[in-house]
Structure formats: C-alpha cells, structure tokens
Amino acid sequence: MKHLQTRAFVLRTVDYGERDTIVTLLGRDCGRFSAIARSAKTSRRRFGGGLQPLRCLQASYTTRPQRELATLTEVKVVVDYPGIETDLEKIALACYATELVREVCREGDEASATFDLLEDFYGHLSRESALAQAEVTLRHFELRLLEIHGAAPSLAGCARCGLSTQAGDKYMCSRVGDGLICSGCRHQGEAVGVLEPNALYLLRGYLTLEPLAAALLADASARMQARRVIEASLAQIIERELRSRAMLTTLGLA
C-alpha cells in the first residue's frame, strides 16, 4: 500500500451507499483519478467542506496494486473560491470548465498543465470584475485546453500543409475541428465554413489574451463563428454533450 499526497481539484462526487462518497479528482502530480472517501458524509474532521467542486485540496490518499479506486484518507482545503460561489453566472462557468476538464482528461495521463489552467480559470473568475471579460476568459480556457491536449484548431496557417494565411485571404475552416484549411488542401466536396477575418483575429486574441479592440469584441457574427470553430474542435475530443452547458444556456452564457 502506498501513501501519497497531491494538490487536487474535485471534478465530481457521487454518493456511494449511506456514508461513503466516490470522488473524481484532478491531481497536479498524478492526473485524473478516482478515490473512495469512506464515511465522508459523517466525518467532517477528515474531509470538512472539501469534497465538492471549486475547491483546491491537499489530498492524502492510499493506493493498492490491482485496485481501481484509491482511498482518500484526508483532505485539507488549500484554496476555496468565495468570489465564485456568490455569483450564479460564475458558478455556471466554473462548473462548465470543471466538466470540460473531467471529460478531456483520462486516468493516468499527465495533467499538470491542465491543473494549472483550471487553477488560473477559477482564480480569474473569483475576481470581482471577471464577468465583464467572461466570454474572452472562457474561450481562452477552451482553446488552451485544446492546445494542451493536442486538439487545438490551426489558426496560424493551413492545418494540412502549414501554409500561412496572408492578409486579404479568404479563410476556410474545417467543419471537423482542424482549423484553417487552404484552398489547395480542401478535399473535393469537403464541407468547410468560411471564416471572416474578424473571427480569426478573435480566435488568435482569445488564445494569446492580447487586448482585443472593442469593435472586434462587439462583432456578434465574428464571435459566433469563433465559437463554432472552438466547438468543432471540442467535439473531436468530447464524446457526449456536456451537462453543464444547459445552465450556461439558461443564463445566456453559452
């Protein structure tokens, strides 16, 4: 039996029996893993208010060979995000990011970059003025997550031949999430979307977080196109509709 410790985010909790909870965690050192927290519903001393999403924990756990589930022995909340929990929109955005990470990460994969990204996202959201830039922050999170997991849409040049885009070019975008496609690489009969230059500037701005012009941010058509490009890339690595999207739609954030 190994005794281990890691900083971790809670990705999901599921009640198990009368007293136990199965927790899915994203450990900075060990990636995504699941653990059983025995008597979690009664032991406030070992788990406190830590076993819920939007908590960064110092988790102590044990593993045994040939056992799928680790056993969570104790957690201490390192960071909580009261700035998120007092705002419904922020809760919805944070839950969406949490679910996205849960779906994208696989057990056993290295996840320190994803952990840091999620930590930055929660930290940004917990700031008072975060909602003013919510769309940019969310799109940046999605694009960076795609980049970390090798599924980002190509935004600098053609996804197939690497030819860079020139100003004045008519940009075409793959419908299956690859990003830009030049006219030479487009397969015969392949369905592509036409991307306005503003949408491409937005996508690049989302990724780099360079300041974006107000007129660009106000261009609803470009924002919609940029969103579709990201959604097509996400669809490549996510197998099902995310549950948390419903709340984003209810609140007009999707």
Partner 1 sequence: MKTRDPITNLINALSKFPGIGERTATRLAFFVLKEPVEFANELASALIEVKEKVGLCQRCCNLTEGDLCAICRDTRRDPTTICVVESTPDLRAIEGTGDFRGTYHVLHGVISPLEGVGPDDLHVRELLDRMRPGPDQQATPVTEVIVATSPSVDGEATALYLLRLLRPLGVRVSRIASGVPIGGELEYTDRVTLSRAIAQRRDM
Helix H or strand E encompassing 231? helix 220-237
Q: Does 108 bind partner 1 (CB under 8 A)?
A: no
Q: Does 88 bind partner 1 (CB under 8 A)?
A: yes
Q: Does 243 bind partner 1 (CB under 8 A)?
A: yes
**CB closer to partner 1 out of 39 and 250:** 250
Phi, psi of 123, deg, nearest 5: -60, -40
Q: Does 98 bind partner 1 (CB under 8 A)?
A: yes
Q: Does 120 bind partner 1 (CB under 8 A)?
A: no
**Interface residues for partner 1 in 1-20 (CB under 8 A)?**
12, 15, 17-18
Q: Does 37 bind partner 1 (CB under 8 A)?
A: no
Of 82, 168, 211, 252, the one binding partner 1 by CB under 8 A: 82
Residue 68 CB neighbours (<10 A)? 9
Cα–Cα distance for residue pair 240/162, rounded to 1 Å: 30
Going from the C-alpha of 161 to that of each of 60, 154, 221, the distances in angstroms are 48, 11, 28
Cα–Cα distance for residue pair 54/52, rounded to 1 Å: 7
For residues 154 and 127, is the Cβ–Cβ distance under 8 A?
Answer: no
Q: Does 69 bind partner 1 (CB under 8 A)?
A: no
**CB closer to partner 1 out of 46 and 124:** 46
Cα dihedral sign for 126, 49, 88, 122?
Answer: positive
Q: Does 91 bind partner 1 (CB under 8 A)?
A: yes
**Interface residues for partner 1 in 41-60 (CB under 8 A)?**
44-45, 48-50, 52-55
For residues 16 and 36, is the Cβ–Cβ distance under 8 A?
Answer: yes
Give the nearest distance from C-beta 94 to partner 1 in angstroms.
Answer: 8
Give the nearest distance from C-beta 8 to partner 1 in angstroms.
Answer: 15
Going from the C-alpha of 253 to that of each of 17, 33, 89, 96, 194, the distances in angstroms are 36, 30, 8, 11, 24
Q: Which residues bind partner 1 (CB under 8 A)?
A: 12, 15, 17-18, 44-45, 48-50, 52-55, 76-77, 80, 82, 85-88, 91-92, 95-96, 98-99, 243-244, 246-248, 250
